[in-house]
Structure 1
């Protein structure tokens, strides 16, 4: 049976192989998080309107657009949600296993701008010292901030 499958695979080369692979494998959305820090080491946190009550504080997050580099997703999402300009840095987290979602997180540096929140998604945005994070913050985001 394995020899037959291998023979068929070699026969269907190219685009047909890609279609079979696409149908066979899981499809994922990519959730991208930015750990944005300023020159003083403070971290940018947002109070998200759509997140559960009591757990609304967290890092800037969003989903990657088709074909978008994940570092560029951080830059775009922070700009859309806060009006701030940032530069994506090192990849610090990559994990699958969340049903149909992959989680990606990047360090990011504040470059400029002043906070103007997108009131549809974001209730408020503030800079916090890592040792004075607000109540009601996502535990996974605390872990990312503290490097754990």
Structure 2
């Protein structure tokens, strides 16, 4: 009987797990969701756009190279699979704008581009400078240390 009760609790708990936060939508706090680190985990880690402009640059098995641009003023998040399209979108931002890189603790997503991650960063920084954009002195870091269990 106890095992049936425990099985019911586990089933009930799994059924009520919330879906991953949706990129480009507002979360419960009203902040724009820029990126979800660890989707599919019991505790997905959400990067909320708290600056005027934010970017996430990463590579994954599912999507390949992905470049994310968040614009708080327009309440929008756009994902690009092509770097030149991403740079074109950066060029639409007002000159003098500050771009903040959003990343995770431990192993930065930018390192997904290893072994060319340093060259990629320099190219990104140069492309921002050519368009009159400034990079924030410090990135915004989302702690992902709680990645412990799949749903």
Larger RCO: 1 or 2 (CA < 8 Å, sep 6+): 1
The structure that is strand-richer by fraction is 1
Note whether the superposition's TM-score is higher than 0.5. no
Query: What TM-score, normalized by structure 1, do the two folds share?
Result: 0.28
Q: Which has the larger radius of gyration?
A: 1
